[in-house]
């Protein structure tokens, strides 16, 4: 995972994440601020996913922006 991508394109990615993963609130998305580790943690918290599953989801979103 390229963390520079998520930080550099967070505004674009945030909109897609908001649509696909509705359990994350706007304030949480603002708090994440493009930090992949924070995003992974929030996905684990809200969806009960393993770290690996959350990482795979984040990687899938980032692949669209590479």
Per-residue pLDDT tens digits for 38-64: 999 999 999 999 999 999 998 888 888
Q: What is the pLDDT of residues 5-31, one digit of tens each?
A: 788 888 888 888 888 888 999 999 999
pTM for the full model?
Answer: 0.84
Q: What is the CATH number of domain 3-63?
A: 1.10.1470.10
Residue ranges of the domains in the chain? 3-63
Helix/strand/coil (H/E/C) assignment for every residue in the chain:
CCHHHHHHCHHHHHHHHHHHCCCCCHHHHHHHCCCHHHHHHHHHHHHCCCHHHHHHHHHHHHHCCC
């Amino acid at each position: 995972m390229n963390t520079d991508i998520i930080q550099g394109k967070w505004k674009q990615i945030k909109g897609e994440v908001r649509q696909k993963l509705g359990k994350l609130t706007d304030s949480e998305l603002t708090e994440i601020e493009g930090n992949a580790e924070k995003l992974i943690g929030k996905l684990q918290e809200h969806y009960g996913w393993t770290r690996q599953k959350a990482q795979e989801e984040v990687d899938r979103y980032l692949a669209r922006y590479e």
